C-alpha cells in the first residue's frame, strides 16, 4: 500500500485488495504461499515485476472480521484455526474493500475453501 503498487495495475476491476493463502503443504500449520493482488480479467498480463494468480472456483465459507485492524483479522484467524470448520486448504482469501478503509472500525471478509 505504501508503494501504491495497485495503481500500476491498469486492468483491475476495482480497488478491492485480495490477500490469498494457497499452495498449502498440509494445513495451516504447514508451509503455504501468500499473494496480495486485485481482480483483473483472466486474459490480462501483469505489469513488469508483478505476478498473476488464478483462484479456483470452489465452495467457500465466509467469515467476517470486524473491529480494529489488524487485530480483528488476527482474532478471526485464531478462531478459525480453533474451530471444527471443514477446510479444503486449496485457497483461502481475505477481501479488503471499502469497509476496511477505517482501520479503527473495519470489516474484512475471509473466505475458506
How many structural domains are present in the chain?
Answer: 1
The C-alpha atoms of residue 72 and residue 66 are separated, in whole angstroms, by 6
Contacts of 87 (CB under 8 A, 6+ apart): 27, 28, 112, 113
CATH number of 42's domain = 3.20.80.10
- Better-predicted residue by pLDDT, 2 or 93: 93
Query: What does the longest C-alpha to C-alpha distance in the chain come to?
Result: 42
CB 8 within 8 A of CB 16: no
Q: Which domain holds residue 83?
A: 5-112
Which residue, among 32, 103, 37, has the nearest Cα to 69 in the 3D structure? Answer: 103
- Tens-place pLDDT, residues 36-47: 999 999 889 999
| pTM of the predicted model as reported, rounded to 2 decimal places | 0.91
Amino acid at each position: 500500500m505504501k508503494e501504491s503498487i495497485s495503481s500500476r495495475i491498469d486492468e483491475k476491476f476495482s480497488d478491492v485488495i485480495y490477500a490469498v493463502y494457497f499452495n498449502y503443504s498440509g494445513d495451516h500449520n504447514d508451509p503455504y504461499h501468500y499473494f496480495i493482488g486485485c481482480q483483473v480479467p483472466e486474459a490480462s498480463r501483469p505489469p513488469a515485476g508483478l505476478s498473476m494468480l488464478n483462484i479456483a472456483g470452489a465452495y467457500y465459507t465466509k467469515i467476517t472480521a470486524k473491529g480494529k485492524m489488524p487485530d480483528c483479522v488476527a482474532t478471526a484467524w485464531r478462531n478459525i484455526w480453533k474451530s471444527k470448520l471443514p477446510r479444503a486448504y486449496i485457497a483461502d482469501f481475505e477481501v479488503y474493500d471499502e469497509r476496511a478503509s477505517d482501520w479503527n472500525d473495519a470489516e474484512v471478509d475471509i473466505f475458506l475453501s
